[in-house]
Structure 1
Amino acid sequence: MSRLPAIVSSEGYVPGVNEPEQMICQYLHMTNSMGCSWFGCDISAFSLPLLMLQLSIIFIVSQTTFFLLKPLRQSILSCQLIGCIVFMSFLRLDTHLLNQLFPESGKLVLDTVANFGFMLHVFVVGVQIDTNILKSVQRHVVLIGFMSFFLPYAVCILCIVPLPNLIQLDEFSFHTLPFVAALTSMTTFAAVTTTLSDLNLLNSDLGRLSCSTALVTDSCSYITTLALTTIGIALERSDWKPVRNVLYIVCFLFTICFVLRPFVMWMAKRIPEGQQMKESQFVVVLLAVLLCGFLSECLGQHAAFGGFTMGMCVPDGPPFGSAMVHRVDWIGTSILVPAKFAICAFKVNLRSLGGDNVLASAITEAVITIGYLVKFMSNFLLAMYFNVSSQDAFHFAMIMCTKGIIDVAAFSLIRSNEVVTEQAYSLLILNMLLVTGSTRFLLRHFYDPSARYQSYKRTSILDIEPEDFLRMVVCIHNEDNLPSMINLLQASNPSRHQPLEVITMNLLQLEGRASAILVPSSEVKKIPSAQTQVFHAGNAFNHFMQRNHNSVVVEHFVAMAPYRSMHEDIFTIAINKCANIIIVPFHKQWGIDGTIDATFPGIRSVNLKIMEKTPCSIGVLVDRGQIGGPKSVLTRRTEVFNITQLFIGGEDDREALAYSCRMAQHPCVSLLVVVLQPAYNDVEQTPEINYEKRLDSEMIDRFRMECKGRDIFVQQEVAEDAVQTVHLLRAMEEGCDLFVVGRKHSVSVSRLTCGLLERPQCPELGRIGDFLATAEFKFSVLVVQTQPLERVDNAGEHIAFIK
């Protein structure tokens, strides 16, 4: 092996257009080390191993920072930037180590890889954007979005204009301030949706308002920046050729919208239902991303602009958009994007804020602070003007001040082009981290979207009049839920004297999209991947409505949201429709042999959130309809449907009995109510317990009166402990099709259920419900939880519901 040169690269300064520029000379063959470290060569002198080492270090630093800042609820992108800034600051203390790990000759390769990863990341952001948002944006949202950018920018410019007459400031720092004002006034759609998604607020009213407004603001800021930059260059050079370049950009956008997008949509429609996109389709789209990035560079734009516009051509959601996101996002966001933040961290110099630059730093900080304050106040006041509550308006204004990776990339780009000073760039980054970080922390700890669901009027089944509509929100996760839900509705005795209002919700997990959707099923064209399921569900429920003419009214809705915030959409519909009960399917499905066939943790998380903050009663249906024979709520076809109700005591049992009482009035339903009482009372008889017992007794008497003369049996049973309760439950299995039970029971009978299961598998079903959901039983189970009689508000005070 030939002897390697002692000097692998050299650097120096040469005359430039405006000032001396740095130049680096390096041997062309220094790419692969080929094991030369065994001969005493510095392996970091070779570009490929150096790049892999840099990416590894950056990844470890960013993930470690994310782990350390997890209690502060910071996003992974903010943690990556913070970690890289801190790491580079410490690395600058050892010049030799800095030159070994991040030599000037290696920054070009790292910067190239980082920009490629950034282009892939913004492509994914573009894929996740629902372009239909622009069609449905209301006028007041356009006004708020427009003013969110132009008002702070205009105020900052008015403050900058008189500065030369007031203080002595160098010309470069003065010319930097308008760009600082523009960058501060920006709000990017990607930053807002990332913040809302991390905080589980995407499908809240606040989230929808923020997404629509951010999209308008983002469009305004880009158009303004493109126009001002082009005009500025034209005035500086006395050459209007850049204006012609704008026309080329417009033609590029039109080509993408009217040629490339229809082609991609045509490819997406060719994917058969239930199947994934082909490898050839993925390659074609990825090649189009690279070509669009290349054309953007030719037009004087960043390659990420082409990637973003190409992303908006790809239909969001499954199967096409979600597949692109899953394949591209992991390498772009997790591996290569941290390198972009490392490059940005290189340019942050905290020492530049002091010394002779104190005055310039103070003026720049004042402009940034004014920009943020005016932006916050404009969003807050306009939201209040358009009838947004003061609390939501305050949080909306905070969200509109957040920034993300696209903002950081814009800061880095103008710094690389020497449009802003070093201290201005550093202050922009530090203020962004402070504002975005504090916004996330405050929203996480002080904003509770469920507060608006804490209604002051009970809407349970127990409190409605017999002739009133029973309003039920029925949740559908997949087509397997349809037969059981319709069968339960049929057993609920819809009639002219006791009409039924059913609101169906097709719940879909958010995939490949940035914004959540809640629309009537008539607008399902906005969600192409859901059309088949919604069509089948609509046909099934419409057929049920036709069979019960003048007794049933059905409305259909479609909700696409993350599982962790899907309950927000369910609550919204339940509140708007004044629902009495929400029926949700259990998260487990049984096979034909009686064993658990499938488990869906996402559905369970939705059920847990609903039970925690429900605005009305809720019923969890444990369906064993896949098991053949007579003991099935699905396959039962005989004239009599046998329902068993276990009544131990408590508000949940009373609500369950009110529902059973309604079902018992169906001519084909036979109801057995088992009233279980303790053999002896050893619980101190407090006024609260005596009050509960009186309510239980009145409920039983009311039940006997309303169901007199029907196929109803009331059976009194006594048990001493949980063991006898188990024997009683097993004895009731014979001839039972559906078992109804409350989730919680009275404190005075706690020994009848205490220790029923040593390790409950599903505590959300209660002790009795959890036991009945085991493999020992073959009937279906409906666990009912009523709306709480009281809640605790944010101040810790109890709020009593008004009957």
Structure 2
Amino acid sequence: MSGPPAIVSSEGYVPGVNEPEQIICQYLHMTNSMGCSWFGCDVSAFSLPLLMLQLSIIFVVSQTFFYLLKPLRQSILSCQLIGCIVFIWFVRLDNHLLNELFPESGKLVLDTFANFGYFLHVFVVGVQIDTNILKSVHRHMVLMGCMSFLVPYAFCLMCLMSLPNFIEVDDVTYHTIPFVAALTSMTTFQAVTSTLSDLNLLNSDLGRLSCSTALVTDLCSYVIALALTTIGVALERQEWKPFENIFWIVCFLISMVYLLRPFVMWMAKRIPEGQQIKESQFLVVLVTVLICGLLSECLGLNASFGGFTMGICVPDGPPFGSALVNRIDWMATNILVPAKFAICAFKVNLKSLGGDNVFAGLITEVFITLAYLAKFTSNFLLAIYFSVPLQDAFHFAMIMCTKGIIDVSTFSIIRSNEVVTDQQYSLLILNMLLVTGSTRFLLWQFYDPSTRYRTYKRNSILECEPGDFLRMVVCIHNEDNVPSMINLLEASNPSGKQRIEVITMNLHQLEGRASAILIPSTEIEKIPSAQSRVLQICKAFKYFMERYNNSVMVEHFVAMAPYRSMHEDIFTIAINKCANIVIIPFHKRWAIDGSIDATFPGIRSVNQNIMEKTPCSIGILVDRGQIGGPKSVLTRRTEVFHITQLFLGGADDREALAYSCRMAQHHHISLLLILLRPNHTDVELTTEVHEKRLDTEMVDRFRMECKGRDIFIQEEVAKDSVETVHLLRAIEKGCDLFIVGREHGYSYSQLTYGLSEWSQCPELGGIGDLLATAEFTFSVLVVQQQPVKTVNFAGEQFTFAK
């Protein structure tokens, strides 16, 4: 077998359209090494092994920098770009190493793979966009979105027009500054949603405002750029052909909207409920994406435009959109897209910032800074004008200055077309990394959406007046939660004197879409994938409401958000509806034999966030079947439903006892109140004396309000947590629902000491966590009252609800 040729490729320069261009000649068979490494051949001389080596290096570098910069809350895309820039700069120090890893003959293949990965990524971005956002965009958001691009762009143009009156600027810089200003003034929807998602702000008020405004800005900047480019080419060449191209582009978009989208929607509707997308459907969509990219190239546009518009035509969310995202996104984002950043990093020339062009670089930097400042100021002032809170307006203006992968790709395309210089391209990239990186870090450090949950009044059952509605927010993750929640509501004894207002929240994990959704159930057609489930849940609660006529009012909301920020939607509804308590299901589900059937870590993270930052009282329902099964209150059987309340003392126990007061007045409920006291205490603190007085008053109130009802009060004494556990095990028989507070007074800590050391679920408290283990078979309701904070100011005390 003959050895490999000594020269695998050659390169040189040939005359080009505008200037000499580089040409590379390579042997046709230098694709796969075919095992010639055993004969002393350099495997990296072949295009396929070289591509795999390059992708592996880029992946390792990207993930390494993501791990290093993660404490600064930098996005994976920013870390990929920073890592590639640093790595390429390091490799360029050794020309031999540079030619070995990234020879000129291998850049074409890497660039092709990079652009294909970017093409798929942009398609996924299009799939995740909810087109219904445009229907809900208010006029002020349209104005803010348009001004976010127009104000900084127009401001930079006016400064540029007056610049020659003060200093002399070279022609190249003068004619390229408008493009630099336009690129800086852009705000892409993908960059904003990526920032908000990484910082868990996607479904906050700030997040919804930013998403809607960014979508308008993105659309506005693209339309204006297309119009100005077309008009400019027409004026320069004095022909109408560019307008003919626009005509065909419009025809392409119309066919996508009125032909392709209905076909994709029809295909999505053919998927049975609960089923996954078929392989044939996935292939049809993938081939259609490729065809749209091809047509986009034929129309003179980038292939990503066709992929993006095709993604818009695909319905977002499960089962269709989420399946496409899950299958394509990981490979495209983590393997192929970093190659796109590597190509962009090759074009960053740090040496161009010095030398003879320092003055031109300073002029460019000034205009980039002016564009960012004008963009920030215009967004901030408009947000203030439209009554956005000062802090939110400041952070909103910061978010609108962030940029992402689409911006980087646009910079790269503009540089490849020689619209901007190497120096201007490098400054655009460096400023983007600085502004976006600092924005993400500052938002993570200083913006806390939970501050709007702090009120001057505690919202709890204890503060609910007798004639008012008891407002309860009921959270539902799946259909299994419905029976237990309805029966808990019935156990709450709705009547003419104790009316209940129920706000149900159907919670869905955000899948296959970029923006969060919080809508009333009347607009459920916006989420086709959840329509069937939501309607069934609404029917169940409607039946419950009809049985109680004027005693119960029910209102339904649907929330789709990431688990890590789902509590934001729950808090929003709780505050807007002045809820007294939020009922959330436990994250574990039990089988018939009493064993744990399933565990949902995402639901647990929601519960933990709710318990940490609560705008009202919270109740976690651990349902083992008694309250939602055959022994439920709803069956109206002649047997009695037995509830046990353990009362040690403290705000949480008092809140739980206030809830038990309502339940005890139900004619099918028997309630046992266990007053557990330590056999001795040495605590004589003033605060504890005050707490004991409140505990005594609450017990006396319970005796008076439940006089004549089927209630029993049992006083017990224990000296430590061991005796407390023995007591709990002794009362297990004959109990259907056990109610307990999450935390207890300091003087009762000896009765629970040590229980938290072996706790698996701290959100339930020491006793609640013990009762949720497999040793007990009854259902459990753990109640936490909204905590308060007292602040001394000018000699006076002010109480704030946390």
Bin for the TM-score computed over the shorter chain: over 0.9
Partners of 2:757 and 2:256 in 1: CA distance = 62
2:53 is aligned with 1:81: no
Task: Tell me which residue corresponds to 2:695.
Answer: 696
Compared with structure 1, are the counterparts of its residues 58 and 628 closer, same or farther at alpha carbon in structure 2 (3 Å cutoff)? Answer: closer
Read off the aligned partner of 1:706 and give its amino acid letter.
Answer: E
Is the CA contact (8 Å cut-off) linking 1:559 and 1:569 kept in structure 2?
Answer: yes
Partners of 1:453 and 1:468 in 2: CA distance = 22
Give the CA deviation at 1:7: 1.4
Partners of 2:174 and 2:536 in 1: CA distance = 64
Q: Deviations over 1:731-759 (max 9, x none)?
A: 21121111100000011011111123641
Is the CA contact (8 Å cut-off) linking 1:591 and 1:627 kept in structure 2?
Answer: no
Partners of 2:668 and 2:547 in 1: CA distance = 16
2:208 is aligned with 1:208: yes
Give SS of 1:221's match.
helix
Compared with structure 1, are the counterparts of its residues 783 and 527 closer, same or farther at alpha carbon in structure 2 (3 Å cutoff)? Answer: same
Is the CA contact (8 Å cut-off) linking 1:625 and 1:635 kept in structure 2?
Answer: no
Read off the aligned partner of 1:367 and give its amino acid letter.
Answer: F
Task: Tell me which residue corresponds to 2:664.
Answer: 664
Is the CA contact (8 Å cut-off) linking 1:47 and 1:106 kept in structure 2?
Answer: yes
2:789 is aligned with 1:790: yes
Give the CA deviation at 1:128: 0.3
Give the CA deviation at 1:169: 2.6
Task: Tell me which residue corresponds to 1:711.
Answer: 710
Task: Tell me which residue corresponds to 2:684.
Answer: 685
Compared with structure 1, are the counterparts of its residues 770 and 799 closer, same or farther at alpha carbon in structure 2 (3 Å cutoff)? Answer: farther
Partners of 1:475 and 1:802 in 2: CA distance = 22
Compared with structure 1, are the counterparts of its residues 798 and 262 closer, same or farther at alpha carbon in structure 2 (3 Å cutoff)? Answer: farther
Question: Quick check: 528-537 or 512-521, which moved more?
Answer: 528-537
Partners of 2:638 and 2:769 in 1: CA distance = 28
Give the CA deviation at 1:627: 9.9
Is the CA contact (8 Å cut-off) linking 1:674 and 1:716 kept in structure 2?
Answer: yes
Task: Tell me which residue corresponds to 1:739.
Answer: 738
Is the CA contact (8 Å cut-off) linking 2:627 and 2:737 kept in structure 1?
Answer: no
2:651 is aligned with 1:651: yes
Is the CA contact (8 Å cut-off) linking 1:484 and 1:633 kept in structure 2?
Answer: no
Residues 299-378 of structure 1 correspond to what in structure 2 (within 5 A)? 299-378=299-378
Partners of 1:674 and 1:477 in 2: CA distance = 33
User: Any gaps of 5 or more consecutive residues in structure 2?
Assistant: none
Is the CA contact (8 Å cut-off) linking 1:723 and 1:756 kept in structure 2?
Answer: no
Give the total of aligned pairs.
Answer: 799
Give the CA deviation at 1:633: 6.8
2:506 is aligned with 1:502: no
2:443 is aligned with 1:443: yes
Partners of 1:653 and 1:627 in 2: CA distance = 21
Compared with structure 1, are the counterparts of its residues 310 and 691 closer, same or farther at alpha carbon in structure 2 (3 Å cutoff)? Answer: same
Read off the aligned partner of 1:701 and give its amino acid letter.
Answer: D
Give the CA deviation at 1:707: 1.2
2:296 is aligned with 1:296: yes
Give SS of 1:402's match.
coil
Question: Quick check: 144-153 or 456-465, which moved more?
Answer: 456-465
Q: Deviations over 1:587-643 (max 9, x none)?
A: 011100010011111111000000000000000000001799876678784442111
Q: Deviations over 1:87-124 (max 9, x none)?
A: 00111100110011001111111001000000000000
Partners of 2:762 and 2:207 in 1: CA distance = 31
2:24 is aligned with 1:33: no
Give SS of 1:438's match.
helix
Task: Tell me which residue corresponds to 2:188.
Answer: 188
Is the CA contact (8 Å cut-off) linking 2:644 and 2:674 kept in structure 1?
Answer: yes
Is the CA contact (8 Å cut-off) linking 2:518 and 2:558 kept in structure 1?
Answer: yes
Compared with structure 1, are the counterparts of its residues 164 and 9 closer, same or farther at alpha carbon in structure 2 (3 Å cutoff)? Answer: farther
Give SS of 1:462's match.
coil
Task: Tell me which residue corresponds to 2:391.
Answer: 391
Task: Tell me which residue corresponds to 1:43.
Answer: 43
Give the CA deviation at 1:493: 0.7
Give the CA deviation at 1:798: 9.3
Is the CA contact (8 Å cut-off) linking 1:628 and 1:635 kept in structure 2?
Answer: no
Partners of 2:56 and 2:104 in 1: CA distance = 18
Task: Tell me which residue corresponds to 2:272.
Answer: 272
Task: Tell me which residue corresponds to 1:800.
Answer: 799
Give SS of 1:58's match.
helix
Partners of 1:496 and 1:628 in 2: CA distance = 24
Partners of 1:399 and 1:189 in 2: CA distance = 11
Is the CA contact (8 Å cut-off) linking 2:490 and 2:634 kept in structure 1?
Answer: no
Compared with structure 1, are the counterparts of its residues 406 and 626 closer, same or farther at alpha carbon in structure 2 (3 Å cutoff)? Answer: farther
Task: Tell me which residue corresponds to 1:720.
Answer: 719
Partners of 2:790 and 2:288 in 1: CA distance = 55
Give the CA deviation at 1:39: 2.3
Partners of 1:253 and 1:66 in 2: CA distance = 38
Read off the aligned partner of 1:679 and give its amino acid letter.
Answer: N
Read off the aligned partner of 2:546 and give its amino acid letter.
Answer: Q
Is the CA contact (8 Å cut-off) linking 1:484 and 1:634 kept in structure 2?
Answer: no
Read off the aligned partner of 1:494 and give its amino acid letter.
Answer: P
Give the CA deviation at 1:711: 1.1
Residues 56-455 of structure 1 correspond to what in structure 2 (within 5 A)? 56-455=56-455
Partners of 2:20 and 2:753 in 1: CA distance = 81
Query: Root-mean-square deviation (CA), in Å?
Result: 1.6
Q: Deviations over 1:12-44 (max 9, x none)?
A: 122222211111111122111112222222222
Give SS of 1:461's match.
coil
Residues 398-797 of structure 1 correspond to what in structure 2 (within 5 A)? 398-625=398-625, 637-682=637-682, 684-756=683-755, 758-790=757-789
Partners of 2:628 and 2:390 in 1: CA distance = 56
Is the CA contact (8 Å cut-off) linking 1:323 and 1:512 kept in structure 2?
Answer: yes
User: Any gaps of 5 or more consecutive residues in structure 1?
Assistant: none
Give the CA deviation at 1:500: 0.4
Give SS of 1:699's match.
helix
Is the CA contact (8 Å cut-off) linking 2:74 and 2:440 kept in structure 1?
Answer: yes
Read off the aligned partner of 1:571 and give its amino acid letter.
Answer: F
Partners of 2:58 and 2:405 in 1: CA distance = 16
Give SS of 1:463's match.
coil
Partners of 1:782 and 1:628 in 2: CA distance = 13
Give SS of 1:701's match.
helix
Q: Deviations over 1:225-257 (max 9, x none)?
A: 111122222222223212110111111000100
Q: Deviations over 1:293-340 (max 9, x none)?
A: 001111111101000000001000000000000001011111000000
Give the CA deviation at 1:791: 7.2
TM-score, structure 1 normalization: 0.98
Is the CA contact (8 Å cut-off) linking 2:627 and 2:736 kept in structure 1?
Answer: no
Is the CA contact (8 Å cut-off) linking 2:656 and 2:739 kept in structure 1?
Answer: yes
Is the CA contact (8 Å cut-off) linking 1:191 and 1:405 kept in structure 2?
Answer: yes
Give the CA deviation at 1:198: 0.4
TM-score, structure 2 normalization: 0.98
Q: Deviations over 1:159-204 (max 9, x none)?
A: 1112334333322222110000000000000000000000111111
Question: Quick check: 282-291 or 223-232, which moved more?
Answer: 223-232
Is the CA contact (8 Å cut-off) linking 2:756 and 2:762 kept in structure 1?
Answer: no
Read off the aligned partner of 2:650 and give its amino acid letter.
Answer: G
Is the CA contact (8 Å cut-off) linking 2:648 and 2:677 kept in structure 1?
Answer: yes
Question: Quick check: 696-705 or 395-404, which moved more?
Answer: 696-705
Partners of 1:211 and 1:140 in 2: CA distance = 14
Question: Quick check: 399-408 or 659-668, which moved more?
Answer: 659-668
Give SS of 2:124's match.
helix
Is the CA contact (8 Å cut-off) linking 2:352 and 2:423 kept in structure 1?
Answer: yes
Compared with structure 1, are the counterparts of its residues 184 and 700 closer, same or farther at alpha carbon in structure 2 (3 Å cutoff)? Answer: same
